[in-house]
Amino acid sequence: MIAPQMRKAKKERKFLNELKTGDRVVMKSGLHGRINHLNNKDNTCVIETTAGKLKFNKTMISMDASNQLNK
C-alpha cells in the first residue's frame, strides 16, 4: 500500500474502534442513523433509524460522511 492509503486506513480503523452507543453515523449506502448497540465480537452494530433498527457490519460506516454529519 502507498503511504497515503495506509494513513487513511489507520484513521478509519481508529474511527471504528472509537465508536460508541449514541453516535450519529452515515452508512456507505447513505443511510443515516444513531448507533443503538455495538458488538465487538462479530464486528457489527445496530443502527436505529426512523424506519426501525437495522444490523450492519461496522466496516459499512462511512468515516468521512459521519464526520461531516457530526461537525
Dump pLDDT digits (tens) for 3-39: 889 999 899 999 999 999 999 999 999 999 999 999 9
Buried b or exposed e, range 9-43, using 16+ CB within 10 angstroms: eeeeeebeeebeeebebbbeeebebebeebeeeee
Q: Is 69 helix (H, G, I), strand (E, B) or coil?
A: helix
| Sheet bearing 44-49, strands edge to edge | 24-26, 32-39, 44-49, 52-57
pLDDT number for residue 2: 85
Tally of structural domains, the chain: 1
Q: Tell me which residue range forms the domain holding 48.
A: 3-69
CATH number of the domain where residue 12 is located: 2.30.30.140
Q: Find residue 42's DSSP bridge partners.
A: none
pLDDT number for residue 1: 63
